């Protein structure tokens, strides 16, 4: 467990909208459950299978209009592992069903690793996410 990610905290411009239109369907599909709700301030989503948690924070009013730019210092993207290509395709169906912006449809990316299969998408604030199935872990 040394070095495993315990949690990641993300700030969103509108917590209620972000949860209902993006995070609830995506995190729910990935096995996360909302375990804490601090009204309009923050929520905590926990995955009992991985032990990881995702905190969502409401942006302060003076920063709500700021969009995330992944090529500025800070967060570029967050990738989640899935157990199969079929799971990636099923998540893609969820993304389409919720009108979530897909950046790259599910595809194989052999230049990353053999069998690397992923879909890329972003939330309403421009934060980029990836879901990946990687059957062979590079040494």
Tens digit of pLDDT at every position of the chain (139 positions): 688 899 999 999 999 999 999 999 999 999 999 999 998 899 999 999 999 999 999 999 999 899 899 999 999 999 999 999 999 999 999 999 999 999 999 999 999 999 999 999 999 999 999 999 998 776 6
Strands 128-133 and 77-81: parallel
Q: Give me the pLDDT at residue 1, please.
A: 66
The alpha helices in the chain, defined as continuous H runs, are 15-18, 24-29, 85-97
Note the pTM of the prediction, 2 decimals: 0.92
Domains of the chain: 1-60 (3.10.180.10), 74-139 (3.10.180.10)
Tokens 């948690």 locate to: 53
**What is the C-alpha to C-alpha distance for residues 74 and 124, in angstroms, rounded to an integer?**
18
């Amino acid at each position: 467990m040394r070095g495993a990610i315990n949690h990641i905290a993300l700030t969103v411009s509108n917590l209620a909208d972000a949860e209902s239109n993006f995070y609830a369907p995506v995190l729910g599909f990935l096995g996360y459950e909302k375990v804490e709700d601090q009204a309009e301030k923050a929520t905590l989503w926990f995955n009992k299978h991985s032990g990881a948690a995702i905190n969502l924070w409401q942006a302060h009013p003076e920063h709500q209009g700021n969009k995330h730019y992944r090529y500025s210092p800070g967060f570029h993207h967050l990738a989640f592992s899935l157990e199969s290509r079929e799971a990636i395709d099923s998540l893609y169906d969820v993304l389409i069903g919720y009108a979530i912006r897909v950046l790259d449809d599910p595809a194989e990316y052999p230049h990353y690793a053999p069998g690397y299969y992923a879909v890329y998408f972003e939330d309403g604030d421009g934060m980029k996410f990836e879901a990946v199935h990687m059957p062979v872990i590079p040494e």
